[in-house]
Chains A and B, each alone.
Chain A
Amino acid sequence: MNTPGGFSEKRFGRLIQRTLQAGVAAAFCLVLAGWGLGLAGSPAAGRLLYAGIVALVLTPVARVGMLVYGFQRNGQPFFALASLVVLLLLLVSALL
């Protein structure tokens, strides 16, 4: 489905797909780097592993952020609003 802005469902899906893949890849790279530093005996290894876990936890958050953008761009304000509510709930959970 093409919208007036030319942002098709396919492009929207690809945006979400790439966001998820990028998050998982970044987390995996950080974990691998952490393991590498761990083998080398570096004290920074733990911090990199932690950063990898945080990157993983933030991946669905980034995905929801992209849903807000995508639904808005796609001319579906109700779903953009629903995504925004989910994003706010995730932010609230970080504050608890």
Chain B
Amino acid sequence: MDAGLGLHTAGLLLSFGFLVGIVGSVLGVGGGVFLVPLLVMWLQVPVHQAIAVSLVAIIATSSAVASVNIERGLANMRLGVVLEMTTAVGSIAGALVANMLPGRVVELLFSLMLFPVAGSMLFKSLRPGGPLRVPAAQAGPGPFDAVFFDPSVSAETSYTVRRIVPASLASFAAGSLSGLLGLGGGIIQVPVMNLLCGVPIKAAAATSNFLIGVSAAASAVIYLKRGLVVPELAAVVVAGVLLGSVVGIQVLYRARSEKIQLAFSVVVLLVAVKMLKASLTP
């Protein structure tokens, strides 16, 4: 099946990547939350290499999903490209910092970051009204105004984007998270676009997905140049994640995810504790 892994391991990684792709797309958290801990704790892959694999997987899913979202008119390309400027800077900075830090420190930071991720998933699962949403402002003259067809209400939704400067600063933080820990940054981008900028949640998620591909690429290049991307490992995992994401979007797009969110928030919490203990153990 591949050049360097045994068939058994490759099969397991492909299957795992597939499951991560499905779960990630259903939960909207990206695969890195599950991918990095598993590669580090199960396969003893060095954390920098695991992050590199996660970044390549983010690029694959972002590129595949964004092409669909552009066709549906969900991704706001003008907003995306403006936020990409600070996201890319953050991503480059994050990758450079990560490459200066020892693996154990990166593992510690990763495990600490999992706690708010678990909290966010728990919050979403317990919130009776579903995902966070602010009423979309009526579209007026503005460079980022957009309109998309929302099938859930069978109508076109138009919106105006506000507060682009603070959103750009938040995008820098999201990019740093991507480069430093191999997480997509959607956990920051989506609420910021939705709550701060007034972008409807579906458009915010699609635009976030559109721009995380670029932030992941900016840092993946740095990992690639340092020889931290293991092609045999990355190819198998990424193929699995990509296939899982496509299936996840097509099949489970309309699934109610509250209970799944609740279950996986507990899983993420357990992973965070286990990884934290491992990183603190001498």
How far apart are the CA atoms of A28 and B241 in the complex, in Å? 12
- Is residue A7 within 8 Å, beta carbon to beta carbon, of the partner chain? no
With a cutoff of 8 Å between Cβ atoms, the chain B residues found around residue A94 in the complex are 221, 225
With a cutoff of 8 Å between Cβ atoms, the chain B residues found around residue A93 in the complex are 88, 91-92, 95, 218-219, 221-222
Most chain A beta-carbon neighbours within 10 Å: one of B4, B81, B85, B214 = B81
Task: Give the A-B contact count at a CB cut-off of 8 A.
Answer: 142
- Is residue B56 within 8 Å, beta carbon to beta carbon, of the partner chain? yes
- Is residue A75 within 8 Å, beta carbon to beta carbon, of the partner chain? no
- Partner pick for B63 among A24, A53, A76, CB 8 A cutoff: A24
- Partner pick for A38 among B1, B67, B85, CB 8 A cutoff: B1
Rounded to whole Å, the gap between the CB of B266 and the closest CB of chain A is 33
Q: Which of B187-195, B230-238, B249-257 is the interface stretch?
A: B230-238
- Per the CB 8 Å criterion, the residue count for chain A at the interface is 48
**A residues adjacent to B (C-beta < 8 A):** 12-14, 16-18, 20-21, 23-24, 27-28, 31, 34-35, 37-39, 45-46, 49-50, 52-54, 56-61, 63-64, 67, 71, 76, 78-79, 82-83, 85-86, 89-90, 92-94, 96
**B residues adjacent to A (C-beta < 8 A):** 1-4, 56, 59-60, 62-64, 66-67, 70-71, 73, 77-78, 81-82, 84-85, 88-89, 91-92, 95-96, 143, 213-214, 216-222, 224-225, 229, 231-232, 234-235, 238-239, 242
